[in-house]
Structure 1
Amino acid sequence: MSAPDPIEAEDASHDADLGVYRRATAGDPEWWRVSIGERPETYRLEHGVDADPASHGAATVDIDLVVDAENLRAKLKKWRREGFVLERDVAASEAGAPARIAFMPELQRAHMRMLAAKLRDAQAEDAAIQQALDQTAGKAANRPAIETVRIGNLDVRCGAAHPLVPRVNPAYLFSPRFNDIVADIVENRRVMLIGHTGAGKTSLIEQVAARSRHGVLRSNMNGQTTVGDFVGFWTVKGGETLWVDGVLPTAMREGLWLIVDEIDFAEPSILAALTAVLEPQGRLVLKEKGNEIVAPHPAFRLFATANAVGAMSQFRHLYQGANLMNEAFLDRWRVYLLDYLTPAEETDVLLRTLAPYLTQPLASTLAAIAADCRAAFAREDLSSAFSTRRLLDWAELMLRTGDPERAAGPAIYAKVSPEDAATIRGIVRHHIAPVG
């Protein structure tokens, strides 16, 4: 049986048809050259009869036109009937010009191969863990099962019960844009989340940990956190000298998730200690404790949050005291920019949290107010951000009092400067008529 004609194949990519088509004639050789057009989904067709089209300008083109995919298919069929044969542009490739390939179909095939390999690796890891559990339990009938929880479109392996497991917020909204972050957590990547204050950077990590039952330690780089607090220190207790682990070795030994909040405010000595463990299996050397090596527990995960790093550097003036992060340090992290929830997403969160009392029109109006306040913050008309937490607090107090202005007092106005309070009050009154 002959091989199927690639021109006739339903799923054939036209990118695979790029190249030079030639046919022998009584006189000069005749050829057509097919290349990518300047506009999407278009192809350039050049025709000549006097020289090799790969001769870098020596060929004379007498026909030069642009066609779409359907017209290209018709041309290919016509050329085949006329005896044209596809020959790759070997000379151009040998000269160092990169060959155009069907990039997206090739990428999709590579993507599927990687997914299959990851699935096999996960199954092998689960089997190894299950075998270890079987040996510990003694009997297969009593073995504890490996438990996972579905978060977004991924299965996250659950941890053991721990006092530091965050509380689940049932109203928390896992946006589809978080799927890549959850995948990095599963793969034990070092994840840094950047964005404005109140964008939900820390709460995202905590809610993944809450649902998968992993304990979380937080270390806030507020200018008062020392390298001793972070790595550890010697102390005297009852006449005895004792070593006290800092948050980093504690998390590594116990398999906790460590969140380094506001890492752009951290001391250089803390960043130096972190650099050693930024690789997935990186180890910490406690020089103060005789160069003791701390290996990471398999469940250990490392996260950082920042306000004025990378894509957020333009807002550095809003976060006084933030340090520059060099690219070598940032390249050790997967860095994700987290923006505030969209009004539609925030409306959903309000309804999830306060239904059935809060209705759709009320929730949509409150979400619009929050969006306008954040836009004012981005324009620097406000010096304080407007978090979803603040919005929820205001909405809850509003339902209790029946008065948005009265509820805004303790929930919003008392937390900001008088100038900011006046600006926010104007935004609120733009959306909500004053009471009375």
Structure 2
Amino acid sequence: MTATLNDWRVTTRPYYAPQADEITLFEAAYAARLPVMLKGPTGCGKSRFVEYMAYKLDRPLVTVACNEDMTAADLVGRFLLEPGGTRWQDGPLTLAARHGAICYLDEVVEARQDTTVVMHPLTDHRRTLPLDKKGELLRAHPDFQLVISYNPGYQSLMKDLKTSTRQRFAALDFDYPVAELEADIVARETGIATALAAGLVQVAAAARRLKGHGLDEGISTRLLVYAGQLIRQGVSVRHACRMAMVRPITDDADIRETLEHAIDAVLA
């Protein structure tokens, strides 16, 4: 492995609590070098899972936060002008494919479809990446794997994965953990009492029931951890919940009031 990828190595074991057999299934997919798609709501643990698997498999992890302004060159690479001439610089996808890292495209549906198609040759039997501007056909390192994630809750006619892209990936479904496990995760991540963490989870459950009834998305496990961290800093439970669990997900006054009533009822 080159010194370049040392910066992408996960050196500390991330905490991840499995919900089912996703670890075994991912290991099997990696052994076969299958590309994997992770589907699930915001903040449910998809990125933490990839980080954990990269650590467990002892592979560097190159992560790309996708956005609508990202171009194919941002993924693949480009020539840079320098005083002595031009120099080619690999993009993150090329870097991972060349040196055998796991490349993780986070929220891939945010990228334009004409950008994401550049990964297609890496996701079938060819495992190649044409670098047209450089005149190179890159053959992926034997240890390379491509992983993408997206939130199906934000699908629309304008923002969704093409069928030709979907069918190049094996897929794992993620969701928020069951209440007891989620409380354990929040307590473990923040150091607050398990009983208090369970109360935060109850409030989150109430918010998640409002999805599609005024809320686009419920309170994520990530936001519960934020609330717990604020509480550990001495912020009152009510203020921590408002700051981390209510204000981020809605500006609707009625829904905010409903959620604050739930906080008072559960955590008072």
Shorter-chain TM-score range: 0.7 to 0.9
Alpha carbons 1:198, 1:385 under 8 Å: kept = no
Structure 1: gaps of 5 or more residues: 1-160
Runs of 4 or more consecutive aligned structure 1 residues displaced over 6 Å after TM superposition? none
> 2:267 aligns to what?
432
The 8 Å contact of residues 162 and 213 in structure 1, kept in 2 or not, is answered as no
Distance in 1 of aligned mates of 2:20 and 2:116: 31
Rg larger in 1 or in 2?
Answer: 1
- Residues 387 and 282 (structure 1), Cα distance of their counterparts in 2 relative to 1, 3 Å cut: same
Deviation at 1:166, TM superposition (A): 3.1
One-letter amino acid of the structure 1 residue matched with residue 10 of structure 2: P
Among candidates 36, 45, 58, match of residue 200 of structure 1: 45
Residues 120-166 of structure 1, C-alpha deviation per residue, up to 9 Å, x if partnerless? xxxxxxxxxxxxxxxxxxxxxxxxxxxxxxxxxxxxxxxxx822123
Structure 2 match to 1:374: 208
Mapped partners of 2:9, 2:221: distance in 1: 22
Q: Which residue of the partner structure matches residue 169 of structure 2?
A: 333
> Given the superposition, is the C-alpha separation of residues 298 and 352 from structure 1 closer, same or farther in structure 2, using an over 3 Å criterion?
same
Q: TM-score, normalised by structure 1?
A: 0.55
CA contact (8 A) 1:190 1:278 kept: yes
Quote how far apart the aligned CAs of 1:284 are: 1.0
Which residue does 2:197 correspond to in 1? 363
Provide TM-score, normalisation by structure 2: 0.86
Q: Distance in 1 between matches of 2:206 and 2:143?
A: 41
1:40-65 deviation digits (Å, cap 9, x = unpaired) = xxxxxxxxxxxxxxxxxxxxxxxxxx
**Residue 145 of structure 2 corresponds to residue 323 of structure 1:** no
What is the identity, as a one-letter code, of the residue corresponding to 1:396?
Answer: Q
Residues 403 and 337 (structure 1), Cα distance of their counterparts in 2 relative to 1, 3 Å cut? same
Mapped to 2, the partners of 1:219 and 1:406 lie a distance apart of 33
Q: State the partner residue of 2:16.
A: 172
CA RMSD of superposed structures (Å): 2.5
Partner of 1:282: 127
Residues in 2 aligned to 1:298 and 1:186: alpha-carbon distance in whole angstroms: 10
Q: Is the 8 A contact 2:219 2:249 kept in 1?
A: no
C-alpha offsets along residues 270-300 of structure 1, whole Å, 9 cap, x if unaligned?
232111110255111111112x111111221
Higher relative contact order (CA 8 A, sep 6+): 2
Alpha-carbon distance change, 427 to 182 in structure 1, aligned in 2, over 3 angstroms: farther
Are 2:205 and 1:386 aligned?
no
* Counterpart among 120, 133, 137 of residue 293 in structure 1: 137
Tell me the residue number matched to 1:163.
Answer: 7
